[in-house]
Amino acid sequence: AVISLTTLQLVVEGTHSGIAPGQMLSAWMGLLTNSKVEMIGAVLQSVAVVLDQTDEHYVTASHPHPTPFVTDQASTDAKMEVGHHTDHGLLPELGKREVVVHIKKRLLGAIGEAKRTNTISYLMKLALQPIEATRFPAVNLLRAIAAQPSGWGLQMLFAHQGASIDSNFYEYVIERLTEYCKEGKDHKFALIQAVAQNPSRGHLPDEVNQKIDVMVQQGAYYLPPMVELQTMEG
């Protein structure tokens, strides 16, 4: 099923009468405080579904008869206010795409607000824990963020440049030993591929792109030679 921009904004912004701004989003993200790891995983997976639908699909789902993107500079530069009075029927196509990106970012930000931490830090923490019910969905959501074609997701992820693997996205991505089962390795490799296939990856440093390319060529199940030798001897 294709989600429309109107539906997305209704859930995230609460733009219809009778619904307080942010009420539905707060209830949705409030499920992250649930003690059941399966519930937390389900919430993260649902956010990944929202991010995986392309901006263009949100825009075209708002019209019974989609029209070509508006490309004149005045429309492109127009500032679109996302709020209670936004009328999607009057927004140009490029303006609607800006609204979609804003709402996607707002949705991700709500995860951190619910957990009282930075969203990416929270996801990376889960991605390094042994609990598969939350680890796999966290890695999958990181993949969905990395896959955003305009590059804002990559910028958000690679801005995490801490001193340890749980606070440095690049160090986490290139570390092969964070996953030890086939399903986990598949999720991690999908994340690596999302970075490699992003059309905006040119903004990343050359050494990062080169390392990502090597990892893609090595495949999902590659192990460093020393680790592979130890595994065989064990």
Ranges of each domain in the chain: 1-116, 119-234
Write the DSSP symbol of residue 176: G
Q: What is the pLDDT of residue 159?
A: 95
- The residue type of 30 is G
Render pLDDT for 165-219 as a digit per residue (tens, 0 to 9): 989 999 999 999 999 999 999 999 999 999 999 999 999 999 999 999 999 999 9
- Whole-model pTM: value is 0.83
Name the β-bridge partners of 168.
161
Alpha helix positions (H), 147-233: 152-158, 169-174, 182-197, 206-218, 225-233
